[in-house]
């Protein structure tokens, strides 16, 4: 295998996503090879011994590492500017890995309340079962983060923009607080994508992705990735991966590796359409609230401008007088599909209160401003005029 590094030049993101981390076999293939293998054979007993004791850095077993998965890790690592990356079977495996590798029994975690449901489950329910206390705060209120940290706080965790209300949390400010107590700041960067937000540059210690979303972008494979410094990945993340088995399959790694090649084009097009749709919705009398991080009327527009390079592919809005109107609107849509997924080439819409956030109590939903009329739109790659016409005709029924 050879690494494709003829040039020592620092490559721009779009070039990195086409060539970064690429290795070629003896056949010199153009497209990266898919190594669907569980294990590896050794030329001698001595070679096997050297592989196992680390003298020879080659592959041992695909639960530890695999050549195709390594190409995916190297490519996204180069884009993110991280020292090391570990790919996982799903976004949730990545979040769980990042948190588990950060804490021990007796430690404390602070997380924003506005988290994807399963992330909140890990913080609120799972970690306390293993003796890790957690405190949930309003992530947009920096004073609450300051008040919540303690000497035994080992991890701070947030996503920004949040799901589904697209709140923006000041990553640099939370990173300062994490540093002040020697804790690790973990940022779930799914909604912003690596194209629009670089948490490590803002002071975060760990970035996690559900690669299932924009990185695949075509609704095929689950995947996730944890990116951070080499020492932590080697000392804490790798042993967890090796012994508990959340590694990404090489098949999924191949699909996601190819997804990275088109990520900048897709995200730019989807964002351009999302911004047109947001502007259109803002003018509609039947839309009572519109939240889009790329607009000046976003509640945290100033923070968004400071830490994001684009408005994102996601739009949240509230319709009429609640759930009934929202359901009538959803059922009238023709091109836009109802689905809880996001980041896809297909435009997808979800009613968070009855789907992704259904298991929350009504009070918890109210605290996060998730009303019965709220809808979350993930804008895809269709012609934006078709999407606007679909929304316009569906609005007439409510
Ligand atoms: C913000 C966020 N984090 C994590 C996840 C989990 O990702 P996955 O479905 O790949 O496990 C999701 C969505 O499912 C998400 O929206």
Cβ atoms of residues 398 and 349 within 8 Å: no
Q: Are 248 and 319 contained in the same domain? A: no
From the CA of 162, give the closest atom in ligand 1. 1
Is residue 92 in contact with ligand 1, taking CB distance under 6 Å? yes
Tell me if 224 CB under 6 Å of ligand 1. yes
The residue ranges of DSSP E strands in the chain, in sequence order, are 2-3, 23-24, 84-88, 108-112, 133-137, 153-159, 184-188, 206-210, 224-228, 287-291, 314-319, 337-338, 348-350, 374-378
| Domain stops at, among 259, 279, 298 | 259
Cα separation, 20 vs 17, in Å, equals 6
> How far away, in angstroms, is 54 Cα from ligand 1 center?
34
Question: What is the pLDDT, as a whole number, of residue 3?
Answer: 60
Q: Report how far ligand 1's centroid is from the alpha carbon of 341 (Å).
A: 9
Q: Does any ligand 1 atom lie closer than 6 A to the CB of residue 193? A: no
Q: Is residue 50 in a domain? A: yes
pLDDT for 2 equals 57
Kindly give the distance from the C-alpha atom of residue 210 to the centroid of ligand 1, in angstroms, as a whole number: 5
Q: Is there a contact between 292 and 298 (Cβ–Cβ < 8 Å)?
A: yes
- Nearest-CA residue for ligand 1 atom 7 is 91
Last residue of a domain, one of 259, 281, 313: 259
371 Rama sector, left if φ>0, alpha if ψ -120 to 50, beta otherwise: beta
Looking at the domain assignment, is residue 1 inside a domain? no
Distance (Å, whole) CA 329 – CA 327:
5
Instruction: List the helix and strand counts (H, then E) for the chain.
Output: 16, 14
Q: Which long-range contacts (CB under 8 A, 24 or more apart) does 127-130 make?
A: 127/99, 127/103, 130/105
115 CB near ligand 1 (under 6 Å):
no
Task: Give the separation between CA 373 and CA 321, rounded to whole angstroms.
Answer: 6
Angle between helices 384-395 and 250-282 (to 10 degrees): 60
Q: Which domain holds residue 117?
A: 8-259
Residue 3 lies in a domain: no
Are residues 362 and 297 both part of a single domain? yes
Is any atom of ligand 1 closer than 6 Å to the C-beta of 96? Answer: no
User: Quick one: 383 exposed, middle or buried, by C-beta within 10 A (0-12, 13-18, 19+)?
Assistant: exposed
Average pLDDT over residues 280-284: 98
Q: Over the stretch 328-384, which tens digit does the pLDDT of each residue have? A: 999 999 999 999 999 999 999 999 999 998 888 889 899 999 999 999 999 999 999
Query: Do 221 and 168 reside in the same domain of the chain?
Result: yes
What atom of ligand 1 comes closest to residue 223's alpha carbon? 10
How does pLDDT run across 192-247, given as a tens digit for each residue? 999 999 999 999 999 999 999 999 999 999 999 999 999 999 999 999 999 999 99
Residue 327 lies in a domain: yes
pLDDT score of 9: 80
Q: What percent of the chain has pLDDT over 70?
A: 98
Tally of structural domains, the chain? 2
Check whether residue 277 and residue 379 sit in a common domain: yes
Q: Is 258 left (phi over 0), alpha (psi -120 to 50) or beta?
A: alpha
Confidence bin at 1 (pLDDT 50/70/90): low
Query: Do both 310 and 356 map to the same domain?
Result: yes
Q: Which DSSP symbol is given to 237?
A: I
pLDDT in tens, 129-184: 999 999 999 999 999 999 999 999 999 999 999 999 999 999 999 999 999 999 99
| Cα distance between residue 249 and residue 270, in whole Å | 28
CA of 74 to the centre of ligand 1 (A): 21
* 229 plus 327 within the same structural domain: no
Residue 4: pLDDT band with limits 50, 70, 90? low
Position 8 scores a pLDDT of 73
- What is the domain-level CATH number for residue 26? 3.40.640.10
| Minimum CA distance residue for ligand 1 atom 9 | 91
């Amino acid at each position: 295998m050879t690494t494709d590094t003829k040039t020592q030049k620092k490559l721009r993101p779009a070039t990195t996503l086409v060539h970064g981390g690429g290795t070629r076999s003896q056949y010199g293939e153009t497209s990266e090879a898919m190594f669907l293998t569980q294990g590896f054979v050794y030329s001698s007993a001595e070679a096997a011994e050297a592989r196992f004791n680390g003298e020879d850095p080659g592959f041992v077993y695909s639960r530890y590492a695999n050549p195709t998965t390594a190409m995916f890790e190297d490519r996204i690592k180069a884009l993110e500017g991280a020292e090391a990356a570990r790919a996982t079977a799903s976004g949730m495996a990545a979040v769980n890995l990042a948190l588990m590798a950060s804490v021990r029994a007796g430690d404390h975690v602070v997380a924003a309340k506005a988290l994807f449901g399963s992330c909140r489950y890990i913080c609120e329910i799972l970690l306390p079962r293993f003796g890790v206390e957690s405190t949930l705060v309003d992530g947009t209120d920096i004073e609450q983060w300051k008040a919540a940290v303690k000497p035994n706080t080992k991890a701070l965790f947030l996503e920004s923009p949040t799901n589904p209300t697209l709140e923006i949390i000041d990553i640099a400010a939370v990173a300062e607080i994490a540093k002040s107590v020697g804790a690790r700041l973990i940022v779930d960067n799914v909604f912003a994508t690596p194209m629009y937000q670089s948490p490590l540059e803002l002071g975060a210690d760990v970035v996690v992705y559900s690669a299932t979303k924009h990185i695949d972008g075509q609704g095929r494979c689950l995947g996730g990735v944890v990116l951070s410094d080499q020492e932590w990945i080697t000392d804490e993340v790798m042993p967890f991966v090796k012994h508990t088995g959340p590694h990404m399959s090489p098949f999924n790694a191949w699909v996601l590796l190819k997804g990275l090649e088109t990520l900048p084009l897709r995200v730019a097009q989807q964002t351009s359409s999302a911004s047109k749709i947001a502007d259109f919705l803002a003018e509609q009398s039947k839309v009572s609230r519109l939240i889009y991080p790329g607009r000046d009327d976003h509640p945290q527009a100033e923070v968004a401008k400071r830490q994001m390079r684009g408005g994102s592919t996601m739009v949240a809005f509230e319709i009429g007088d609640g759930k009934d109107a929202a359901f009538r609107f959803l059922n009238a849509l023709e091109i836009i599909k109802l689905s809880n997924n996001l980041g896809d080439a297909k435009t997808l819409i979800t009613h968070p209160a009855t789907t992704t956030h259904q298991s929350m109590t009504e009070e918890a939903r109210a605290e996060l401003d998730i009303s019965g009329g709220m809808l979350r739109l993930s804008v895809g790659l269709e012609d934006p005029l078709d999407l606007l016409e679909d929304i316009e005709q569906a609005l007439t029924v409510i």
